[in-house]
Amino acid sequence: MKKKITIVDKDLNQLVVVADCSSALYQDRGTKLGEQNLLSDTAVTFKVYDGTAQVAVMMADILQVPTKQGTMADIWPTSTSPLPDKQLAINYLCTRNAERQMLCDKDPKDSVAMVLPITTHLYIDSIKVENAYKRRGIATGMLDFAVSLALPETIGLFCANEDAEMKAMLKALKFAQSPLKAQNMPWKEKFFYYKRLKYPSIHRADDATYNVMKQMTLSDYQLLIPEEESKYN
C-alpha cells in the first residue's frame, strides 16, 4: 500500500512524500529476535521526491506492543548477549507501559488515567537527507507524515553520540534521552531517544519525558528548527 502527500519546504518548493507500507502480524511471538514482545509491525519507507529525483528517505516501523513487565536482562543487553536495536526498543516500551500501568493502579480515584494493554509506537530506523536539501524542513515533514499515519503513543529512535546533526534535531523537537544503550556495535555508542505524544493523567515527578512534553496534537508537533541548531533540516 502506498500513500503520498505534497509538502512545501522552507524555500517554498513543493516536494512529494511517498509512504510505502507493508504489515505483518505476529501470533507466535518469541520465535526470533526483533519479533519478541511484538504484536504487529508495519514497516514504512518514506521517500521524498523533487520532480523525479529522490532527495530523502526515512525507514520506520509502526509497532504494536503489549503492556508487559520485563526483566533487567530484557532491557540491558550485555556484550556477550547483544540484542538488535529494534528489539531493545520494543522491550523498553513494554516495560515503560507496565510501569505506567502500576502508577495508574495506585490511584483508583482517578478513573481517567489508564494504560491500554496494547499501544502503538513509531520506531525510526534511519533518516537520510541529501546534502543539498538539508536545512529545509524535509526530515520534519517525513516525521509529521509518519505521525499522521500511525497516531502513536511515542516516537523513538537510537542516535549515536557522534551524530551531531541528528542530536540537534532531537533536541529541537524535545525528545528525551533514555538510559537505554545499544550494544550491537560496541565501538559506536547509541542511546535511545523518545517523545511521548499521548499522556495519561498520572505520571512520575522524575519522568524526564513528562517535563519536556504535553498532551500533543499533530499541529503542536511540527516545530520550526533554527538553522544554527541543525543542518539536518
Q: Any idea where the domains of the chain sit in the sequence?
A: 2-221
Q: What is the pTM of this model?
A: 0.75
Q: Would you give per-residue pLDDT tens digits along the chain (233 residues)?
A: 789 999 998 889 999 999 999 887 766 555 666 677 788 899 999 999 999 999 999 999 999 887 766 555 555 656 666 778 888 888 888 877 766 655 554 455 544 444 557 789 999 999 999 999 998 999 999 999 999 999 998 999 999 988 999 999 999 999 999 888 887 666 678 999 999 886 544 444 444 444 444 444 444 434 333 444 444 44
E strand or H helix at 78: none
CATH 3.40.718.10 fits 2-221, yes or no: no
